[in-house]
Chain A
Amino acid sequence: GENVEQHPSTLSVQEGDSAVIKCTYSDSASNYFPWYKQELGKRPQLIIDIRSNVGEKKDQRIAVTLNKTAKHFSLHITETQPEDSAVYFCAASIEANAGNMLTFGGGTRLMVKP
């Protein structure tokens, strides 16, 4: 089955700096890679996703890159703000009409210091 590794487990940055979180996956059949943000005591919420037919996707201060050959993908947050502080999870899945479960990385606790 799929295995997703996520690094670092904790990340502390100064407000305004960039943050990068990296994930690797094992199953070359995986083709859908979402990122979820979970604030303390709240539900995980999708912030961005990427499919294997593209190498990069950007949404304002957030971008995700995917290297299918190396089987790794990364989340980039620019101009970090204190409200970006949360736990971020990457995940991998095989998209299908019937759906499929997500395999999650272990999470990265991001702390943005004002």
Chain B
Amino acid sequence: GAGVSQSPSNKVTEKGKDVELRCDPISGHTALYWYRQSLGQGLEFLIYFQGNSAPDKSGLPSDRFSAERTGGSVSTLTIQRTQQEDSAVYLCASSRQGAQGGLAKNIQYFGAGTRLSVL
């Protein structure tokens, strides 16, 4: 089946503009994660959704960042009033989770990311 899909693959924007990044998780995966990867750096957790529970927003770097997940599937990460330091690759991942599923349920599968460049 299809993997995690992210769009756009590249986004160039001007400082101060808002951007929206989209993630389509693997069908049937109830958990969805957003991470940020700055150039040559590791992955930084941003936000996590699980089913209908309130999202874990503990990794969001500022109130300019927000995310939503509609219908328990597609997620949109929004960055308002972008700054140059927001330039990075934004990666989305999903996992199956739930009480069933065995040991594989926690494996996170990543999308190809959106490379955001703020000029």
Task: Give the interface of A toward B (CB within 8 A).
Answer: 1, 6, 32, 34, 36, 42-46, 49, 51, 89, 91, 93, 95, 97-107
What are the 4 tightest A-B residue pairs by CB atom distance, in nearest-first order?
A99-B31, A99-B97, A106-B42, A104-B43
Please give the distance in Å from B25's CB to the nearest CB on chain A. 12
- What number of residue pairs across chains A and B have CB atoms under 8 A from each other? 66
Q: Pick the residue among A43, A102, A104, A107 that contacts B113 (CB under 8 A).
A: A43
Decide: A89 near B111, CB < 8 A? Known: A98-B53, A99-B50, A101-B56: no
Contacts of B31 in A (CB 8 A): 98-99
Task: Give the interface of B toward A (CB within 8 A).
Answer: 4, 30-31, 33, 35, 41-45, 48, 50-51, 53, 56, 58-59, 91, 95, 97-99, 103, 105-113
Distance between Cα atoms of A100 and B53 in the complex (Å): 13
